[in-house]
Structure 1
Protein backbone atom coordinates (compact mmCIF):
# COMPACT_ATOMS: atom_id res chain seq x y z
CA UNK A 1 0.00 0.00 0.00
CA UNK A 2 1.38 3.38 -0.95
CA UNK A 3 2.64 5.43 1.99
CA UNK A 4 1.63 8.60 0.17
CA UNK A 5 -2.08 7.84 0.62
CA UNK A 6 -3.38 9.52 3.76
CA UNK A 7 -6.81 8.72 5.26
CA UNK A 8 -9.03 11.76 4.74
CA UNK A 9 -12.56 13.05 4.34
CA UNK A 10 -12.58 16.25 2.33
CA UNK A 11 -15.39 18.65 1.37
CA UNK A 12 -14.98 20.95 -1.64
CA UNK A 13 -17.34 23.92 -2.10
CA UNK A 14 -20.30 22.01 -0.61
CA UNK A 15 -20.40 20.11 -3.91
CA UNK A 16 -18.00 17.18 -3.57
CA UNK A 17 -17.17 14.84 -0.71
CA UNK A 18 -14.11 12.61 -0.95
CA UNK A 19 -13.37 9.85 1.56
CA UNK A 20 -10.27 7.68 1.65
CA UNK A 21 -9.66 5.40 4.64
CA UNK A 22 -7.98 2.16 5.62
CA UNK A 23 -10.36 1.46 8.50
CA UNK A 24 -13.88 0.12 8.88
CA UNK A 25 -15.92 3.24 9.70
CA UNK A 26 -19.50 4.15 10.49
CA UNK A 27 -20.72 7.25 8.66
CA UNK A 28 -21.96 10.20 10.70
CA UNK A 29 -24.46 11.73 8.30
CA UNK A 30 -27.92 10.18 8.72
CA UNK A 31 -30.13 12.80 7.07
CA UNK A 32 -29.68 13.36 3.33
CA UNK A 33 -30.84 16.93 2.58
CA UNK A 34 -29.84 16.99 -1.13
CA UNK A 35 -29.56 14.49 -3.98
CA UNK A 36 -26.28 12.54 -3.86
CA UNK A 37 -24.46 10.84 -6.74
CA UNK A 38 -21.61 8.62 -5.53
CA UNK A 39 -18.98 6.49 -7.25
CA UNK A 40 -17.21 3.71 -5.32
CA UNK A 41 -13.58 3.55 -6.46
CA UNK A 42 -12.64 0.77 -4.02
CA UNK A 43 -14.04 -0.95 -0.94
CA UNK A 44 -17.75 -1.09 -0.15
CA UNK A 45 -20.38 1.18 1.39
CA UNK A 46 -23.19 -0.53 3.25
CA UNK A 47 -26.30 1.65 3.37
CA UNK A 48 -29.31 1.12 5.62
CA UNK A 49 -32.48 3.06 4.78
CA UNK A 50 -36.24 2.66 4.95
CA UNK A 51 -36.21 -0.05 2.28
CA UNK A 52 -33.54 -2.20 3.92
CA UNK A 53 -29.85 -2.67 3.19
CA UNK A 54 -28.02 -1.70 0.01
CA UNK A 55 -24.36 -2.43 -0.77
CA UNK A 56 -22.41 -0.11 -3.06
CA UNK A 57 -19.47 -2.05 -4.49
CA UNK A 58 -16.35 -1.12 -6.43
CA UNK A 59 -17.05 0.60 -9.78
CA UNK A 60 -20.75 1.06 -8.97
CA UNK A 61 -22.70 4.31 -8.80
CA UNK A 62 -25.34 5.17 -6.24
CA UNK A 63 -28.01 7.81 -6.65
CA UNK A 64 -29.82 8.87 -3.47
CA UNK A 65 -32.81 11.18 -3.34
CA UNK A 66 -32.91 14.18 -1.00
CA UNK A 67 -34.95 14.27 2.20
CA UNK A 68 -34.39 10.77 3.52
CA UNK A 69 -32.68 9.01 6.40
CA UNK A 70 -29.79 6.60 5.92
CA UNK A 71 -26.95 5.00 7.87
CA UNK A 72 -23.68 4.03 6.21
CA UNK A 73 -20.72 1.80 7.02
CA UNK A 74 -17.46 2.21 5.09
CA UNK A 75 -15.58 -1.04 4.54
CA UNK A 76 -12.10 -1.15 2.91
CA UNK A 77 -11.09 -4.11 0.79
CA UNK A 78 -8.50 -6.50 2.25
CA UNK A 79 -5.76 -5.07 0.03
CA UNK A 80 -7.18 -1.69 -1.04
CA UNK A 81 -8.17 1.50 0.71
CA UNK A 82 -11.80 2.58 0.88
CA UNK A 83 -12.27 5.37 -1.66
CA UNK A 84 -15.45 7.14 -2.74
CA UNK A 85 -16.45 10.47 -4.29
CA UNK A 86 -19.92 11.93 -3.79
CA UNK A 87 -21.42 14.78 -5.78
CA UNK A 88 -24.00 16.86 -3.88
CA UNK A 89 -26.69 18.02 -6.31
CA UNK A 90 -28.62 20.88 -4.74
CA UNK A 91 -32.03 22.22 -5.70
CA UNK A 92 -30.41 25.57 -6.50
CA UNK A 93 -28.11 24.01 -9.11
CA UNK A 94 -30.91 21.84 -10.50
CA UNK A 95 -33.31 24.76 -10.84
CA UNK A 96 -30.68 26.78 -12.71
CA UNK A 97 -29.84 23.78 -14.92
CA UNK A 98 -33.54 23.26 -15.70
CA UNK A 99 -33.95 26.93 -16.64
CA UNK A 100 -30.83 26.94 -18.83
CA UNK A 101 -31.92 23.80 -20.64
CA UNK A 102 -35.69 24.45 -20.80
CA UNK A 103 -36.50 21.37 -18.74
CA UNK A 104 -40.03 21.04 -17.44
CA UNK A 105 -40.91 18.34 -14.93
CA UNK A 106 -43.91 16.39 -16.18
CA UNK A 107 -44.82 14.56 -12.95
CA UNK A 108 -43.75 14.04 -9.34
CA UNK A 109 -41.29 11.21 -8.74
CA UNK A 110 -42.73 8.18 -6.91
CA UNK A 111 -40.05 5.51 -7.41
CA UNK A 112 -37.17 4.21 -5.28
CA UNK A 113 -35.33 6.83 -3.21
CA UNK A 114 -31.94 5.09 -3.41
CA UNK A 115 -30.68 2.78 -6.13
CA UNK A 116 -27.58 1.61 -7.96
CA UNK A 117 -26.64 2.55 -11.51
CA UNK A 118 -24.30 0.71 -13.83
CA UNK A 119 -22.02 3.53 -15.04
CA UNK A 120 -21.21 3.99 -18.69
CA UNK A 121 -17.75 5.05 -19.88
CA UNK A 122 -18.75 8.73 -19.72
CA UNK A 123 -19.73 8.65 -16.04
CA UNK A 124 -16.65 6.60 -15.15
CA UNK A 125 -14.45 9.13 -16.94
CA UNK A 126 -16.27 11.96 -15.18
CA UNK A 127 -15.47 10.60 -11.72
CA UNK A 128 -11.88 9.94 -12.75
CA UNK A 129 -11.69 13.60 -13.76
CA UNK A 130 -12.72 14.60 -10.22
CA UNK A 131 -9.84 12.77 -8.55
CA UNK A 132 -7.20 15.51 -9.12
CA UNK A 133 -9.56 18.10 -7.62
CA UNK A 134 -10.36 16.15 -4.47
CA UNK A 135 -6.95 14.59 -3.94
CA UNK A 136 -4.67 17.48 -4.84
CA UNK A 137 -6.71 20.61 -4.07
CA UNK A 138 -7.90 22.08 -0.80
CA UNK A 139 -10.54 24.19 -2.51
CA UNK A 140 -12.02 25.00 -5.89
CA UNK A 141 -14.03 27.98 -7.10
CA UNK A 142 -17.81 28.00 -6.83
CA UNK A 143 -17.99 28.52 -10.60
CA UNK A 144 -15.91 25.43 -11.32
CA UNK A 145 -17.88 23.36 -8.82
CA UNK A 146 -21.12 24.39 -10.55
CA UNK A 147 -19.71 23.49 -13.98
CA UNK A 148 -18.68 20.03 -12.79
CA UNK A 149 -22.05 19.48 -11.12
CA UNK A 150 -23.85 20.51 -14.34
CA UNK A 151 -21.72 17.93 -16.13
CA UNK A 152 -22.85 15.23 -13.68
CA UNK A 153 -26.51 16.12 -14.24
CA UNK A 154 -26.09 15.99 -18.01
CA UNK A 155 -24.36 12.62 -17.88
CA UNK A 156 -27.07 11.18 -15.63
CA UNK A 157 -29.78 12.27 -18.04
CA UNK A 158 -27.75 10.88 -20.94
CA UNK A 159 -27.43 7.52 -19.16
CA UNK A 160 -31.07 7.36 -18.06
CA UNK A 161 -33.43 10.06 -19.45
CA UNK A 162 -36.22 8.88 -17.12
CA UNK A 163 -34.28 10.36 -14.19
CA UNK A 164 -35.73 13.76 -15.14
CA UNK A 165 -38.66 13.34 -12.74
CA UNK A 166 -36.27 12.16 -9.98
CA UNK A 167 -33.88 15.08 -10.32
CA UNK A 168 -36.28 17.93 -11.00
CA UNK A 169 -38.96 17.18 -8.41
CA UNK A 170 -38.80 20.23 -6.13
CA UNK A 171 -41.86 19.40 -4.05
CA UNK A 172 -41.53 19.32 -0.27
CA UNK A 173 -42.32 16.21 1.80
CA UNK A 174 -46.08 15.90 2.28
CA UNK A 175 -47.89 15.12 5.52
CA UNK A 176 -47.67 11.40 6.28
CA UNK A 177 -48.67 9.00 9.07
CA UNK A 178 -46.52 10.17 11.98
CA UNK A 179 -46.89 7.03 14.12
CA UNK A 180 -45.86 4.67 11.34
CA UNK A 181 -42.91 6.86 10.36
CA UNK A 182 -41.55 7.21 13.91
CA UNK A 183 -41.85 3.50 14.68
CA UNK A 184 -39.80 2.80 11.56
CA UNK A 185 -37.19 5.54 12.06
CA UNK A 186 -36.74 6.25 15.79
CA UNK A 187 -33.23 4.79 15.70
CA UNK A 188 -31.89 7.61 13.50
CA UNK A 189 -30.04 10.17 15.60
CA UNK A 190 -31.27 13.35 13.92
CA UNK A 191 -32.76 16.60 15.30
CA UNK A 192 -36.53 16.83 15.79
CA UNK A 193 -36.60 19.47 13.04
CA UNK A 194 -35.60 16.82 10.51
CA UNK A 195 -38.19 14.31 11.75
CA UNK A 196 -40.74 17.11 11.43
CA UNK A 197 -39.72 17.94 7.85
CA UNK A 198 -39.78 14.33 6.73
CA UNK A 199 -43.31 13.88 8.08
CA UNK A 200 -44.46 17.03 6.26
CA UNK A 201 -44.92 19.19 9.34
CA UNK A 202 -43.57 22.31 10.98
CA UNK A 203 -41.73 21.66 14.24
CA UNK A 204 -44.66 22.99 16.26
CA UNK A 205 -47.16 20.80 14.38
CA UNK A 206 -44.87 17.79 14.75
CA UNK A 207 -44.64 18.21 18.53
CA UNK A 208 -48.39 18.72 18.82
CA UNK A 209 -49.28 15.70 16.67
CA UNK A 210 -46.61 13.58 18.37
CA UNK A 211 -47.97 14.29 21.85
CA UNK A 212 -51.50 13.51 20.68
CA UNK A 213 -50.33 10.24 19.11
CA UNK A 214 -47.90 8.90 21.72
CA UNK A 215 -49.18 10.71 24.87
CA UNK A 216 -45.67 11.91 25.72
CA UNK A 217 -43.01 14.28 24.38
CA UNK A 218 -40.86 13.34 21.35
CA UNK A 219 -37.57 13.46 23.28
CA UNK A 220 -38.82 11.24 26.11
CA UNK A 221 -40.42 8.76 23.72
CA UNK A 222 -37.31 8.56 21.53
CA UNK A 223 -35.01 7.88 24.46
CA UNK A 224 -37.27 5.22 25.98
CA UNK A 225 -37.84 3.55 22.60
CA UNK A 226 -34.09 3.45 21.87
CA UNK A 227 -33.28 2.11 25.33
CA UNK A 228 -35.98 -0.58 25.06
CA UNK A 229 -34.49 -1.68 21.76
CA UNK A 230 -30.98 -1.66 23.26
CA UNK A 231 -32.10 -3.80 26.20
CA UNK A 232 -33.61 -6.33 23.80
CA UNK A 233 -30.45 -6.48 21.67
CA UNK A 234 -28.24 -7.01 24.73
CA UNK A 235 -30.50 -9.36 26.71
CA UNK A 236 -32.06 -11.42 23.93
CA UNK A 237 -29.69 -11.09 20.99
CA UNK A 238 -26.47 -11.13 23.08
CA UNK A 239 -25.02 -8.01 21.44
CA UNK A 240 -22.32 -5.99 23.17
CA UNK A 241 -23.25 -2.45 24.30
CA UNK A 242 -20.36 -1.03 22.26
CA UNK A 243 -21.80 -2.66 19.14
CA UNK A 244 -25.34 -1.32 19.38
CA UNK A 245 -25.42 2.14 20.98
CA UNK A 246 -24.98 3.88 17.61
CA UNK A 247 -27.37 1.48 15.92
CA UNK A 248 -30.23 2.39 18.28
CA UNK A 249 -29.68 6.14 17.96
CA UNK A 250 -27.27 7.29 20.69
CA UNK A 251 -24.48 9.67 19.79
CA UNK A 252 -21.89 8.48 22.30
CA UNK A 253 -21.30 5.57 24.64
CA UNK A 254 -21.20 7.54 27.89
CA UNK A 255 -24.65 9.07 27.29
CA UNK A 256 -26.00 5.64 26.40
CA UNK A 257 -24.63 4.14 29.63
CA UNK A 258 -25.99 6.91 31.86
CA UNK A 259 -29.44 6.91 30.20
CA UNK A 260 -29.63 3.11 30.35
CA UNK A 261 -28.76 3.00 34.06
CA UNK A 262 -31.28 5.76 34.84
CA UNK A 263 -34.06 3.81 33.12
CA UNK A 264 -33.19 0.27 34.22
CA UNK A 265 -31.18 0.82 37.41
CA UNK A 266 -28.27 -1.23 36.07
CA UNK A 267 -25.57 -0.72 33.43
CA UNK A 268 -25.71 -2.30 29.96
CA UNK A 269 -22.57 -4.28 30.84
CA UNK A 270 -24.28 -5.89 33.84
CA UNK A 271 -27.20 -6.95 31.64
CA UNK A 272 -24.72 -8.44 29.19
CA UNK A 273 -22.78 -10.36 31.86
CA UNK A 274 -25.95 -11.79 33.41
CA UNK A 275 -27.51 -12.86 30.12
Structure 2
Protein backbone atom coordinates (compact mmCIF):
# COMPACT_ATOMS: atom_id res chain seq x y z
CA UNK A 1 0.00 0.00 0.00
CA UNK A 2 1.12 3.57 -0.65
CA UNK A 3 3.08 5.77 1.74
CA UNK A 4 1.89 9.35 1.77
CA UNK A 5 2.92 12.74 3.08
CA UNK A 6 0.25 15.32 2.54
CA UNK A 7 0.06 19.06 3.18
CA UNK A 8 -3.39 19.68 4.63
CA UNK A 9 -2.92 23.44 4.80
CA UNK A 10 0.26 25.41 4.40
CA UNK A 11 1.61 24.66 7.88
CA UNK A 12 -0.03 21.31 8.71
CA UNK A 13 1.54 18.13 7.30
CA UNK A 14 0.17 14.60 7.78
CA UNK A 15 2.32 11.53 7.07
CA UNK A 16 0.98 8.00 6.74
CA UNK A 17 2.73 4.69 5.99
CA UNK A 18 1.43 1.13 5.93
CA UNK A 19 4.87 -0.48 5.76
CA UNK A 20 8.29 0.49 7.15
CA UNK A 21 9.47 3.44 5.13
CA UNK A 22 12.87 5.12 4.90
CA UNK A 23 12.45 8.85 4.48
CA UNK A 24 14.80 11.08 2.56
CA UNK A 25 17.40 13.32 4.15
CA UNK A 26 15.78 16.60 5.04
CA UNK A 27 17.04 20.06 5.83
CA UNK A 28 14.70 21.41 8.50
CA UNK A 29 14.44 25.19 7.88
CA UNK A 30 11.74 25.91 10.50
CA UNK A 31 10.81 24.65 13.95
CA UNK A 32 7.85 22.29 13.97
CA UNK A 33 5.62 20.70 16.58
CA UNK A 34 4.83 17.05 15.89
CA UNK A 35 2.64 14.34 17.33
CA UNK A 36 3.24 10.61 16.80
CA UNK A 37 -0.31 9.32 16.42
CA UNK A 38 0.71 5.69 15.83
CA UNK A 39 3.87 3.76 15.00
CA UNK A 40 7.38 5.12 15.60
CA UNK A 41 9.73 7.57 13.93
CA UNK A 42 13.47 6.87 14.15
CA UNK A 43 15.29 10.13 13.45
CA UNK A 44 19.03 10.22 12.70
CA UNK A 45 20.86 13.52 13.12
CA UNK A 46 24.23 15.03 13.95
CA UNK A 47 23.97 14.11 17.63
CA UNK A 48 22.85 10.51 17.11
CA UNK A 49 19.45 8.87 17.00
CA UNK A 50 16.10 9.86 18.49
CA UNK A 51 13.10 7.51 18.69
CA UNK A 52 9.69 9.20 18.73
CA UNK A 53 7.28 6.70 20.16
CA UNK A 54 3.51 6.50 19.77
CA UNK A 55 1.53 9.16 21.62
CA UNK A 56 4.56 11.47 21.94
CA UNK A 57 4.68 15.21 21.34
CA UNK A 58 8.01 16.57 20.08
CA UNK A 59 9.37 19.97 19.10
CA UNK A 60 11.94 19.70 16.31
CA UNK A 61 14.50 22.50 16.04
CA UNK A 62 15.08 24.43 12.84
CA UNK A 63 18.35 24.51 10.89
CA UNK A 64 19.38 20.88 11.13
CA UNK A 65 19.68 17.76 8.99
CA UNK A 66 17.52 14.74 9.74
CA UNK A 67 17.02 11.31 8.16
CA UNK A 68 13.99 9.27 9.24
CA UNK A 69 12.72 5.71 9.18
CA UNK A 70 8.98 5.32 9.75
CA UNK A 71 7.70 2.16 11.42
CA UNK A 72 4.02 1.19 11.64
CA UNK A 73 2.97 -0.54 14.85
CA UNK A 74 1.89 -4.19 14.93
CA UNK A 75 -1.78 -3.23 14.75
CA UNK A 76 -1.86 0.26 13.26
CA UNK A 77 -0.43 2.17 10.30
CA UNK A 78 2.24 4.85 10.82
CA UNK A 79 0.75 8.29 11.40
CA UNK A 80 2.54 11.53 12.25
CA UNK A 81 1.19 15.07 12.11
CA UNK A 82 3.24 18.26 12.32
CA UNK A 83 2.63 22.00 12.55
CA UNK A 84 5.30 24.32 11.11
CA UNK A 85 6.32 27.23 13.30
CA UNK A 86 7.96 29.52 10.74
CA UNK A 87 9.93 32.66 11.58
CA UNK A 88 7.33 35.04 10.15
CA UNK A 89 4.59 33.64 12.40
CA UNK A 90 6.88 33.56 15.43
CA UNK A 91 8.04 37.15 14.86
CA UNK A 92 4.44 38.31 14.66
CA UNK A 93 3.53 36.41 17.82
CA UNK A 94 6.54 37.85 19.68
CA UNK A 95 5.62 41.39 18.65
CA UNK A 96 1.96 40.99 19.61
CA UNK A 97 2.86 39.54 23.02
CA UNK A 98 5.96 41.66 23.71
CA UNK A 99 8.16 38.59 24.13
CA UNK A 100 11.86 39.13 24.74
CA UNK A 101 14.53 36.40 24.68
CA UNK A 102 16.55 36.64 27.89
CA UNK A 103 18.85 33.59 27.74
CA UNK A 104 20.29 30.97 25.42
CA UNK A 105 18.32 27.75 25.12
CA UNK A 106 20.45 24.67 25.96
CA UNK A 107 21.61 23.02 22.77
CA UNK A 108 21.31 19.49 24.14
CA UNK A 109 17.91 19.75 25.83
CA UNK A 110 15.44 17.09 24.71
CA UNK A 111 12.27 18.63 23.36
CA UNK A 112 9.62 16.09 24.27
CA UNK A 113 6.40 17.11 25.92
CA UNK A 114 3.90 15.07 27.91
CA UNK A 115 0.74 14.49 25.84
CA UNK A 116 -1.47 16.08 28.51
CA UNK A 117 -5.13 16.93 28.00
CA UNK A 118 -4.24 20.23 26.33
CA UNK A 119 -1.98 18.65 23.71
CA UNK A 120 -4.32 15.69 23.20
CA UNK A 121 -7.29 17.96 22.62
CA UNK A 122 -5.24 20.18 20.32
CA UNK A 123 -4.18 17.38 18.00
CA UNK A 124 -7.66 15.84 18.16
CA UNK A 125 -8.99 19.18 16.91
CA UNK A 126 -6.88 18.75 13.74
CA UNK A 127 -8.50 15.40 12.86
CA UNK A 128 -11.39 16.84 10.82
CA UNK A 129 -8.91 18.66 8.56
CA UNK A 130 -6.71 15.57 8.16
CA UNK A 131 -9.71 13.39 7.34
CA UNK A 132 -11.07 16.06 4.97
CA UNK A 133 -14.40 16.13 6.78
CA UNK A 134 -14.01 19.86 7.36
CA UNK A 135 -12.31 22.70 5.51
CA UNK A 136 -10.23 25.37 7.20
CA UNK A 137 -10.03 29.10 6.54
CA UNK A 138 -6.77 31.05 6.49
CA UNK A 139 -7.70 32.83 9.72
CA UNK A 140 -8.49 29.58 11.50
CA UNK A 141 -5.24 28.02 10.24
CA UNK A 142 -3.30 30.95 11.75
CA UNK A 143 -5.16 30.52 15.04
CA UNK A 144 -4.26 26.80 15.16
CA UNK A 145 -0.57 27.64 14.72
CA UNK A 146 -0.73 30.27 17.48
CA UNK A 147 -2.51 27.78 19.71
CA UNK A 148 0.44 25.39 19.24
CA UNK A 149 2.83 28.14 20.36
CA UNK A 150 0.68 28.86 23.44
CA UNK A 151 0.71 25.19 24.45
CA UNK A 152 4.48 24.94 24.08
CA UNK A 153 5.03 27.99 26.28
CA UNK A 154 2.57 26.62 28.81
CA UNK A 155 4.42 23.30 28.97
CA UNK A 156 7.89 24.86 29.18
CA UNK A 157 8.22 28.66 29.45
CA UNK A 158 11.95 28.45 28.65
CA UNK A 159 11.06 27.36 25.12
CA UNK A 160 10.60 31.06 24.35
CA UNK A 161 14.40 31.31 24.23
CA UNK A 162 14.40 28.81 21.38
CA UNK A 163 11.29 29.81 19.42
CA UNK A 164 11.93 33.55 19.47
CA UNK A 165 15.67 33.55 18.88
CA UNK A 166 15.91 35.03 15.39
CA UNK A 167 19.67 35.47 15.26
CA UNK A 168 21.42 34.11 12.19
CA UNK A 169 23.34 30.84 12.60
CA UNK A 170 26.89 31.75 13.59
CA UNK A 171 29.81 30.61 11.47
CA UNK A 172 30.88 27.22 12.81
CA UNK A 173 33.89 24.97 12.26
CA UNK A 174 33.42 23.86 8.67
CA UNK A 175 35.79 20.88 8.75
CA UNK A 176 34.25 19.40 11.89
CA UNK A 177 30.70 19.92 10.63
CA UNK A 178 31.29 18.35 7.22
CA UNK A 179 33.05 15.31 8.70
CA UNK A 180 29.98 14.74 10.91
CA UNK A 181 27.34 15.37 8.24
CA UNK A 182 28.80 14.34 4.87
CA UNK A 183 26.40 11.41 4.57
CA UNK A 184 23.30 13.63 4.32
CA UNK A 185 22.20 13.92 0.70
CA UNK A 186 21.19 17.58 0.72
CA UNK A 187 22.13 20.57 -1.41
CA UNK A 188 25.34 22.57 -1.03
CA UNK A 189 23.05 25.52 -0.26
CA UNK A 190 21.77 23.67 2.83
CA UNK A 191 25.31 22.90 4.01
CA UNK A 192 26.21 26.57 3.57
CA UNK A 193 23.26 27.77 5.63
CA UNK A 194 23.88 25.23 8.39
CA UNK A 195 27.48 26.41 8.78
CA UNK A 196 26.43 30.08 8.95
CA UNK A 197 27.76 31.07 5.53
CA UNK A 198 26.55 32.42 2.23
CA UNK A 199 26.89 30.00 -0.67
CA UNK A 200 29.90 31.85 -2.07
CA UNK A 201 31.50 32.09 1.38
CA UNK A 202 30.94 28.39 1.97
CA UNK A 203 32.56 27.41 -1.32
CA UNK A 204 35.50 29.75 -0.69
CA UNK A 205 36.14 28.45 2.83
CA UNK A 206 35.61 24.86 1.71
CA UNK A 207 38.21 25.18 -1.04
CA UNK A 208 40.77 26.58 1.42
CA UNK A 209 40.25 23.71 3.88
CA UNK A 210 39.75 20.71 1.59
CA UNK A 211 41.43 21.93 -1.63
CA UNK A 212 38.55 20.74 -3.78
CA UNK A 213 34.91 21.61 -4.45
CA UNK A 214 32.17 20.50 -2.03
CA UNK A 215 30.69 18.06 -4.57
CA UNK A 216 34.07 16.48 -5.29
CA UNK A 217 34.89 16.13 -1.59
CA UNK A 218 31.48 14.69 -0.70
CA UNK A 219 31.79 12.03 -3.38
CA UNK A 220 35.34 11.13 -2.31
CA UNK A 221 34.43 11.02 1.38
CA UNK A 222 31.36 8.85 0.82
CA UNK A 223 33.21 6.40 -1.43
CA UNK A 224 36.10 6.02 1.04
CA UNK A 225 33.64 5.32 3.85
CA UNK A 226 31.85 2.79 1.62
CA UNK A 227 35.13 1.01 0.90
CA UNK A 228 35.90 0.82 4.62
CA UNK A 229 32.45 -0.53 5.51
CA UNK A 230 32.48 -3.15 2.76
CA UNK A 231 36.07 -4.35 3.33
CA UNK A 232 36.39 -4.04 7.12
CA UNK A 233 32.80 -4.38 8.33
CA UNK A 234 31.52 -6.85 5.71
CA UNK A 235 28.64 -4.56 4.75
CA UNK A 236 26.66 -5.03 1.55
CA UNK A 237 26.52 -2.18 -0.95
CA UNK A 238 22.74 -2.40 -1.10
CA UNK A 239 22.55 -1.85 2.67
CA UNK A 240 24.77 1.24 2.89
CA UNK A 241 24.50 3.31 -0.30
CA UNK A 242 21.48 5.34 0.84
CA UNK A 243 22.95 5.95 4.29
CA UNK A 244 26.07 7.35 2.64
CA UNK A 245 24.19 9.89 0.54
CA UNK A 246 23.97 8.11 -2.84
CA UNK A 247 20.62 8.41 -4.59
CA UNK A 248 20.58 5.08 -6.43
CA UNK A 249 22.48 1.81 -6.36
CA UNK A 250 23.60 1.76 -9.99
CA UNK A 251 25.26 5.18 -9.62
CA UNK A 252 26.98 3.97 -6.47
CA UNK A 253 28.29 0.84 -8.24
CA UNK A 254 29.69 2.80 -11.20
CA UNK A 255 31.27 5.48 -8.96
CA UNK A 256 32.87 2.81 -6.75
CA UNK A 257 34.35 0.94 -9.72
CA UNK A 258 35.67 4.16 -11.25
CA UNK A 259 37.28 5.26 -7.96
CA UNK A 260 38.85 1.97 -6.84
CA UNK A 261 39.15 -0.05 -10.05
CA UNK A 262 37.22 -2.98 -8.57
CA UNK A 263 33.58 -3.82 -7.96
CA UNK A 264 32.09 -3.91 -4.47
CA UNK A 265 32.18 -7.71 -4.52
CA UNK A 266 35.89 -7.76 -5.45
CA UNK A 267 37.05 -5.70 -2.44
Give the structure-2-normalised TM-score.
Answer: 0.94
Query: Which structure 1 segments of 5+ residues have no match?
Result: none
Task: Determine if the alignment matches structure 1 residue 219 to structure 2 residue 215.
Answer: yes
Q: Secondary structure at the match of 1:70?
A: strand
Q: Secondary structure at the match of 1:190?
A: coil
Q: 1:194 aligns with which of 190, 197, 206?
A: 190
Task: Determine if the alignment matches structure 1 residue 135 to structure 2 residue 131.
Answer: yes
| Alpha-carbon distance in structure 2 between the residues aligned to 1:111 and 1:170 | 15
Which residue of structure 1 aligns with residue 142 of structure 2? 146
User: How many angstroms does 1:12 deviate by?
Assistant: 2.4
Q: 1:263 aligns with which of 246, 259, 262?
A: 259
Number of matched residues? 267
User: How many angstroms does 1:98 deviate by?
Assistant: 1.1
Which residue of structure 2 aligns with residue 125 of structure 1? 121
| Alpha-carbon distance in structure 2 between the residues aligned to 1:267 and 1:137 | 54
Task: Determine if the alignment matches structure 1 residue 102 to structure 2 residue 101.
Answer: no
1:123-152 per-residue CA deviation (whole Å, 9 max, x = no partner) reads 111111112211226974332221111010
Which residue of structure 1 aligns with residue 88 of structure 2? 92
| Alpha-carbon distance in structure 1 between the residues aligned to 2:239 and 2:50 | 20
Give the structure-1-normalised TM-score.
Answer: 0.91
Q: Structure 1 107/137 Cα, relative in aligned 2: closer, same or farther at 3 Å?
A: farther
Residue pair 1:48, 1:54 contacting (<8 A) in 2 also:
yes
Residue pair 2:3, 2:21 contacting (<8 A) in 1 also:
no
| Alpha-carbon distance in structure 2 between the residues aligned to 1:222 and 1:212 | 15
| Alpha-carbon distance in structure 2 between the residues aligned to 1:31 and 1:233 | 26
Q: Structure 1 9/220 Cα, relative in aligned 2: closer, same or farther at 3 Å?
A: same
Query: Which structure 2 segments of 5+ residues have no match?
Result: none
Residue pair 1:210, 1:216 contacting (<8 A) in 2 also:
yes
